[in-house]
Amino acid sequence: MAGFGHYVPERRVENAELEAHFNIETGWIERRTGIRARHWTMPGDRLTDMAAKAGAMALHQSGLDRRDIGMVLLATSTPDHLLPPSAPLLAHRLELKQSGAVDLAGACSGFIQALVLADGFVRTQAKPVLVVAANILSRRINWQERASAILFADAAGAVVLSPSTQPGRGLLSSELVSDGSNYELIGIAAGGSVQPFEMAMDLEETRMSMRDGRKVFSLAVEMMGDCATKALTSANLSPSSIDRFIPHQANSRIIDALEERLELDTDLSIRTLGEYGNSSAATIPLSLSIANAQAQFKGGETLLMTAAGAGMSGGAVVWRM
């Protein structure tokens, strides 16, 4: 990874605002989720605005000539429009005139999926790739569903991958999985070809819904834990070999459960959930960029990243800096 970037909107929404809205006791949200605050966009802000700011930071940090970027991958569940895709506009705004540009709709595991695809492109084409994950989830909050409404945030994170001549660097192993039998646990009912917006019976069908929070919790822990274990095995590494653990920032209790399941020291985990909430695919690159700014990654550090989300889809990667 040659560069990191992130962006969050200026508007900071503390738990007190949501606790007052839902008439719940002070401190309930943090105790349940680990979240203290989240950031939301203002009306008129676009997804590509956030993505471009995170991408520009990562490109600047990489020091690479923008003409050398071969591909832009944008992982998002909230594109500017259903059509056209948002990645070409993002590439245009970043003046990446000679790169391909592709949207990926992988929900919370979108960044992990994009990272695996980007690594393959870098290795086969010998060209750098900009990977951006961004979401504006505040505009998809279902205000009738307290359990999910308190979670979601807006953010963007980005990394630049570049070719390396050093052996044993970059993606050491990966594990991607899906479980379509639980396809409808998390989602937005209206807006696709099955149920266009004009067919929606009420506003709730155009908003995010989580049908069974307890089941989502158990499936997420199982999927993320299994993927992480298999990725470590494929890399011939043990949990003790990991320098930093960067899980999807969905809920502090999920992260706690993963640390216990994987037998990882809690000091290894990067947590941004408290200040930034759950921005789906953006949480891992956001965490990477913030962590790098606080304590710069060193060559040879081994990272474990894992995520799971709507679909259900999930994955994990072992990455060596």
C-beta neighbour count of 149 within 10 angstroms: 18
Which one, of 289, 297, 269, 275, lies nearest residue 133 by Cα? 289
CB-CB contact of 213 with 32 (8 Å): no
pLDDT at 168: 86
Q: CA 279 to CA 286: how far, in whole Å?
A: 9
Burial of 266 (0-12, 13-18, 19+ CB in 10 A): exposed
CB-CB contact of 62 with 2 (8 Å): yes
CB-CB contact of 148 with 142 (8 Å): yes
pLDDT at 131: 98
- Same fold flag, 3-161 and 170-320: yes
User: For the chain (length 321 residues), average pLDDT per consecutive 10?
Assistant: 97 97 96 97 96 98 96 97 96 95 95 98 97 96 91 97 90 96 80 77 75 87 97 96 97 96 96 98 98 94 96 95 94
pTM, two decimal places? 0.95
pLDDT at 192: 79
Told to judge if 108 belongs to the known catalytic residues of this protein, a careful annotator would answer yes
pLDDT at 201: 67
Catalytic residue among 39, 182, 248, 251: 248
Told to judge if 227 belongs to the known catalytic residues of this protein, a careful annotator would answer no
C-beta neighbour count of 248 within 10 angstroms: 30
Catalytic residue among 6, 108, 135, 251: 108
Q: CA angle 122-173-6, nearest 5°? A: 60
Q: Could you give the C-alpha distances from 34 to 38, 62, 150, 187, 259, in angstroms and in order?
A: 11, 33, 11, 23, 15
Domain 3-161 has CATH 3.40.50.720: no
Domain residue ranges in the chain: 3-161, 170-320
The CATH code for residues 170-320 is 3.40.47.10
